[in-house]
Structure formats: C-alpha cells, structure tokens
Structure 1
C-alpha cells in the first residue's frame, strides 16, 4: 500500500512516498543537511524555544527545557553531544531530527552520570533513577526521527504537562520517549537507550519504525522497553534488549478510540528481561507482550533467560481486562495476531516453565507453537490448555544459542543482575541452533505510513531474517 506523507519543515515541503517493496532496501547515506540557522554552542543554552540546526561535532550544554514550536524543526547533526542539566526535556510541538552516523553518533546524556559494567542492582545503579528528562512529542508534532543516537540516563520526572490532552500523561511521568500524534511519524533506528526509571517509551498513535536499536537497564522496579499504545502502527525489529524490568516490547490498544495498536515484533534478541517488576508475578511479561485488543506478528525472536516467553494476554483478570485480539479482521493491517519461529533458552526450571506463560495472575491465550525452538506444541502435548502450569525442568540448558561471547549456561541468578551489554558479543557462532531457523515468508513488515528517506524517514525497513535474533550471519540486522 502506498501512502503519501507531507512533512512541513518550515523552510520546505517534502513529499515522501512509502512503498511496500522498495522499503526492503537501505537508503544510501546522504551528506549532512542544515535546516534554518545554525545554533551556536557558546555558553549554556537556557530554557526556551529553538529551531534550526545544531552543528556537527559540537558539544552543547542545555540548561532547561528545549521547546520546538508547531511548524518549526530542530535538526541535530552527526557527532553532537548534548549535556542535559536541571532535568531538561525536549518539548516537541514541531519536529525533531537527530542524524547521527555509525562513526559519529549523537549523544544525549546527563553529564553527572557514567555507565557502569558488571552486576546491576536496583538502589545502587544510577541508571534506574533518571537524570535528564525526555523527548515529549505532542499532537502537533509531525515527526520525530532519531538515527544513530545515544539516549543515556533519561527519565527525570516531568514538572509540568508539556501540552494539553496528552494520552495518560501526568505530572511526574518519567518516560524518555513519548509521542502522541495519531497521524505523525516516529523513527528510531540504529540507536541506543541506557537506563530509565519507568517505561523507556510510550507511544500513542502514529506510524513507527523502531529498528536495529540496543536497549539496556530500562525500568527500575517496573516499566517496559518499547511500549506502544493507542492506535500506533509499525515495526519493532532487530533490537537487542537486555536487563529490562518487564517487557522488552509491548502493544496495547489503550487510550484511544481511533483504532487498534498493530505492530510486527521480529528478529529481536531479549536477554535477562522481566526480573525487576515488583508487581504480581505473572501479571506482566519479560520479553514480548500483546494485550488490550492490540494485534501483533511475533516471529524470529531469540529469548534468553527471560522471566516469560511471548505472552498473548487474555481476559478478564485483575483490575484491568487484558485481551489481545486473536480474531480475524479483514480491515486491519494485521489480520490476526500470529507468532512462531521463536527460540527460547533457560538456565533454570522456573524460567523454562514460562516459555509458554501460565495464567496464575491473569488469563493468557498463548498457544504453544510447533515452529518454536523447543517445539512447545510437542512438549506440552495435545491435551494442553491455555494457561496451564507445566514442569519445564527438562528444557533447562537446551538449545544454547551460542553467542560469540556471553556466558551460557549462566551463573545461577546472574540473569537478574547482568543488565548491560558490557564487553559481550551477542552475535551467533557458526554452530548456533538459531542460524537458518527463522521464517522469511510467514509475514512481512508494516510499510503503511513509513516513508523511506535518508533524512526524513526510515533509513531502511529490514525484512525478516533467516537467522533467529537481531544479528544475522549475512551482516544485516543490528549493526552495534
């Protein structure tokens, strides 16, 4: 399906077309562009309204909230470092673009904080506290585009509502990325997130390509990684998500009557997720979760020592009805929620007993798949019913994905505290059981509403890969 998206930059109008087949190719890098006037880096930039371009290789100190007015655009060129002080936020009523590159990424950080390696424990690691604020894009923001950008130590509490009628947005919110234009565009590609006290992202409506990113230590005693709600539509693929408090990727049709939340979640690698959630065990997932009448296609994911496997939430249950829409709807982009070809690995029986989540806290409708590794349909047998508890001890240590450099079997309990990439390498060794076991034909990524453009759209909607997980032996997928 072709969709024309007109993006107003204040200085020009760009007509960008999204084509379902052409989006399979990566855009060739273009020279850095400049929009409007250059923003000087002399002194501390005070709170106020900004537009124009932050110039390549410069370091800027931000003293207060950066506001982008409706119709204006702020562009950040490659190699820029933004030292955010006083819990500063980006309040985006217009448009924001960060155009880092592999060799010269953009960095947005709290200069008081430094990353730590090794064991990460809540209460002792500043990653879970919140330093600078976040990027809050309101209903008049036409696009937020982040490429090769580090977002480190965000999540300081909002001191005031940045715009009216934000979906479920309250004073005190601690998100890093928030977007709520049902007709807008959000792109996050080849980027990094390190640390957050709550959900790292909240998305309500719009079109998304969230691809080839790395996420570490997101959520303190709760909170999801990539959390799409409302009528948001798009892709979450080729992401490495390690040490998240709860879900790595999640969809839920909350906060809107505009339509269903619909995403593909494919070729992600989830490691050690789901162990800092202080809520009722089983009421949230630890890898991928589909809930509240949303739809998703969940394929080719590598799920290693996560508290739960793919969780298709059913209802009713608890104070809130979680019901993922598993019925067919011909008018939807995703006709029916479907999943398979996911590889699970566990180093204890409790984790292995949740490859197919049970309904001890809330009803689930996750069906064991014969295409998964291990074959959970065969393991559980024809008599298995949704949500039944089972003994997974026979699955412990089976199907080691054989990362290039990461200790598996893991030391007992290290899946709770090893929450960052550090010096490890999550690419696959040649003998990995994940190689060649993904599907490239069972589904295709969503292209509706996602333009392909080096600067003002997606740099490439990578199609499903034949190897399970975010790293592909042919060099595609995650580039970190």
Structure 2
C-alpha cells in the first residue's frame, strides 16, 4: 500500500510537471505575443470613429480621424480628451457642448485638427465649443478651422465660448475663418492665451479675443491678422465696474484688424474699455483701423502701457494710429511710423503694404517674423510688471509675437500661415 501510494504520488507529480511546463510555455508565449501588440489603448478609448451625436466621453486616439454628424455633449462629470495627431471632421452645423472637461492635447510634432468635412470650407461651417457650463477648458497645439455656425436663434456662435469661472488654457493653437469671436470669455475665469495664431476672423463682426465680466490672466505672443472687429478686446461691463477685467497684454502682433465691422464701430488692434484695466507692452500694431484704444470709460488710472510699435502704410489710417482721439497718449518707449516712405517699417519677413480688409484668407506671402534688421528688435520693455502671474512667460526684449529669444515660453512657435 505504501509503495502504491508512492507510485500514485509520483505519477501525479509527473503529470503536474508536464502540465506546469505547458502552462509556463503558454504563459511565456502569451507574454511574448503581447509584447508585439503595441501600446495598450486607454480604458476609456473612443473606438468608433463615426460619432452621430449625443453624450460622449473618453479619449479620442492619436493619429485617428473622427467624423461628427450630430451635436456632441460632454456631461458635467465627464471628460473628453483628444490625443495628439487626431483629426475631427464635423459634417454640418453641429457643436460641442462642454459641461465637464475638454482637453485637446496636441503637440508641436502632432497638432490636432478640428474642421468641417466641406471640401470648400467657408466661415461658420460648424458650431464650435460651447463651454458655458464647463469645469475646465484646455486646447494645446490645435487647429480650429471654419467654426461659428448659426445658433438656435439664427445668430453666429463663438469658436470657444466660456461663461463660468474656470481655468481656460489655450496655447499654440490656430484659429482660422471663424464667423464670430474666436475666444469669448465672460466670467471671472483665469486665462492663459499664449502663442496662438488667428487668421481671417469674422465676416461683419467678431473679435479674435473678447473678455468681459472679471477675466484675469495673460494674453501674450499671439499673432492676429484680419479680424472683422478687434484683435484683442478687454472689457468689464458698460454699467458694472466689478468684478473687474484685469489682464496682461504683451508681445502680440496685430495686423489689419477692424475694417469689416464698418466705420460706425470699427475694430482695434488692442482695445481697453468699460471699467477694465490692463498692462499693455511690446505689441506690434500694423495697419489696424484703430491701433491701441484706451477709452475714457476704461480704468485708465490703473492701466499701464509703453513700448508699443505703431505702423500704418495707408494715409487714411494715420489719424487713428495713436492716440486715436481717446484717452491714451504717446509713451517714451513707443515706436511710431510717421510717413508713408518707409520710416520705422517693422520689416516683416513678408508683407504687402496694400490693405485688403475684405480678404478672409491670409496671403501666402505674409510672414510676420522679423528680419534681422527690424527696428522692433531690442526695443521691448523687460522691467517689472505688477500682477504678472508666476507661470507667465517673461516679456521679451523685442516687440511683437515673433522674438529672437524663445526660452521660457517666449515667442510664437508657428511658421507663417497654417
């Protein structure tokens, strides 16, 4: 009995050994196969590339193309993340309503593109990102093209609209062909609007950047061309002084803004208005209907401005160049073009002196980088700016958005055009 027991036991162990070896081999084989399947998809990956509308959450996958054929909603407890290299094509006038979190996380190597499916796009093809009840808004290295379609009342929509006190972080993005404001923030949000490029915004109205009702933060190193209204508008309220809009506006390049709105209410390169205050330094303002306008209703006593560059090539604009009959006066560090013979030309790499206010497509030869002999180089203010947040890039020793020293987040990173 003892021997039999030993034999049975020995037999069991032999079988176990083979089974264990087989399992080990299978496990090794499985592990080996898994190593060749690539990076695992996020648990919340959005695998369907055709979205017909409704509630959406999760992650749009890198280098994928998604089509959207209905209104999208991100609910208050949800997040929509868009990975680098993603393309989103919207079919028809559909919008993204963000009640939770939107994070469009493109990179310089792999920007994200959000556009219309129309092969011949026009302004106002889709409804933009309506974030009036969002928890957080982040867009990095994202191209937002041809937004601003009609809303339920028949009016146009903003490309990105925010009316709640949340962080708004928009950096290194392109905004092209919007029908209304490209960025509209109407709350006590803290904003980072850094190193973006805006081209051809607004048909008869619409600002590139429009702040109201207590916005604080930084607008810096942006390139803004051809806006129907103002390139940068800083506004509190026509009737209420608080909460006060209070922002830093520096090292932006604003060109040919304000014409399509019309002479009754032309746009500006930079407008500080309606109880708001700002620090306005190192902005390059070329051929805008009005250049810098600090109005009598602004908080003029607490608005500081200097080292801005004013350039016009059209005689009819000279009267509006500076100070445009408003509150502002010439400052010691300003550079001002006085004639049409080329004096104080900022020497853009590519620019025609002919202003075409109805052109919505930026000419291919326009390049607002500065030539090596530009008088804007080395003329920027680099001193202390009261209230500048610790996260903000420093002011440049050059004037404008394209600067020679791009360390520490300074300087627009985009090539000409989009």
Give 1:442 deviation, angstroms: 4.3
Give 1:395 deviation, angstroms: 6.1
TM-score by length of 2: 0.83
SS of the residue 1:352 aligns to: helix
Counterpart among 164, 184, 188 of residue 170 in structure 2 = 188
Deviation per residue, 1:421-465 (Å, 9 max, x gap): 6343221111100000000114267328xxx6xxxxxxxx32111
Check conservation: 1:349, 1:396, Cα contact below 8 A: no
Give 1:180 deviation, angstroms: 1.2
TM-score by length of 1: 0.73
Q: Which has more radius of gyration?
A: 2
Separation in structure 2 between the aligned mates of residue 80 and residue 438 of structure 1, nearest angstrom: 37
Give 1:95 deviation, angstroms: 0.5
Counterpart among 220, 241, 246 of residue 237 in structure 1 = 220
Separation in structure 1 between the aligned mates of residue 40 and residue 307 of structure 2, nearest angstrom: 41
Residue in structure 2 matched with residue 40 of structure 1 by the alignment: 47
Given the alignment of the two structures, is residue 341 of structure 1 paired with residue 307 of structure 2, yes or no? yes
Separation in structure 2 between the aligned mates of residue 365 and residue 254 of structure 1, nearest angstrom: 18
Separation in structure 2 between the aligned mates of residue 137 and residue 33 of structure 1, nearest angstrom: 31
Gaps of at least 5 residues in structure 2 are 1-38
Give 1:98 deviation, angstroms: 0.4
Counterpart among 327, 339, 355 of residue 365 in structure 1 = 327
Separation in structure 2 between the aligned mates of residue 352 and residue 148 of structure 1, nearest angstrom: 36
Check conservation: 2:370, 2:402, Cα contact below 8 A: yes
How many aligned positions are there? 371
Deviation per residue, 1:118-168 (Å, 9 max, x gap): xxxxxxxx23xx0011111123x2210000000000000122xxxxxxxxx
Given the alignment of the two structures, is residue 172 of structure 1 paired with residue 155 of structure 2, yes or no? yes
Give 1:398 deviation, angstroms: 2.2
Relative distance call for 1:306 and 1:419 in structure 2 (3 A) is farther
Counterpart among 341, 344, 355 of residue 399 in structure 1 = 344
Given the alignment of the two structures, is residue 275 of structure 1 paired with residue 268 of structure 2, yes or no? no
Give 1:374 deviation, angstroms: 2.1
Relative distance call for 1:285 and 1:146 in structure 2 (3 A) is same
Separation in structure 1 between the aligned mates of residue 253 and residue 197 of structure 2, nearest angstrom: 10
Residue in structure 1 matched with residue 190 of structure 2 by the alignment: 207
Relative distance call for 1:77 and 1:355 in structure 2 (3 A) is same
Residue in structure 2 matched with residue 264 of structure 1 by the alignment: 248
Deviation per residue, 1:215-260 (Å, 9 max, x gap): 0000111211100111111111100001111210011113877510
SS of the residue 1:287 aligns to: strand
Counterpart among 404, 408, 415 of residue 473 in structure 1 = 404
SS of the residue 1:235 aligns to: strand
Deviation per residue, 1:176-216 (Å, 9 max, x gap): 1101112x011110000001222222101211000100000
- Structure with bigger helix share is 2
Separation in structure 2 between the aligned mates of residue 204 and residue 34 of structure 1, nearest angstrom: 37
Given the alignment of the two structures, is residue 148 of structure 1 paired with residue 146 of structure 2, yes or no? no
Separation in structure 1 between the aligned mates of residue 323 and residue 316 of structure 2, nearest angstrom: 11
Relative distance call for 1:150 and 1:217 in structure 2 (3 A) is same
Separation in structure 2 between the aligned mates of residue 144 and residue 470 of structure 1, nearest angstrom: 24
Separation in structure 2 between the aligned mates of residue 34 and residue 138 of structure 1, nearest angstrom: 31
Higher RCO (CA 8 Å, separation ≥ 6 residues): 1
Relative distance call for 1:156 and 1:85 in structure 2 (3 A) is same
Gaps of at least 5 residues in structure 1 are 1-31, 116-125, 160-169, 315-322, 328-335, 376-391, 453-460
Relative distance call for 1:340 and 1:36 in structure 2 (3 A) is farther
Residue in structure 2 matched with residue 138 of structure 1 by the alignment: 132
Relative distance call for 1:307 and 1:419 in structure 2 (3 A) is farther
Give the RMSD, CA atoms, in angstroms: 2.3
Check conservation: 2:195, 2:413, Cα contact below 8 A: yes
Counterpart among 310, 313, 318 of residue 295 in structure 2 = 313
SS of the residue 1:351 aligns to: helix
Matches within 5 A, 1:40-439: 40-42=47-49, 44-114=50-120, 126-127=122-123, 130-139=124-133, 141-159=134-152, 172-182=155-165, 184-205=166-187, 206-254=189-237, 259-278=243-262, 280=264, 283-314=265-296, 323-327=297-301, 336-359=302-325, 364-374=326-336, 394=339, 397-407=342-352, 410-411=353-354, 413-414=355-356, 417=359, 420=362, 422-439=364-381
SS of the residue 2:322 aligns to: coil
Following superposition, which runs of at least 4 residues in structure 1 exceed 4 angstroms of deviation?
32-36, 255-258
Give 1:351 deviation, angstroms: 1.6
Separation in structure 1 between the aligned mates of residue 202 and residue 181 of structure 2, nearest angstrom: 6
Check conservation: 1:305, 1:415, Cα contact below 8 A: no
Relative distance call for 1:68 and 1:286 in structure 2 (3 A) is same
Given the alignment of the two structures, is residue 441 of structure 1 paired with residue 383 of structure 2, yes or no? yes
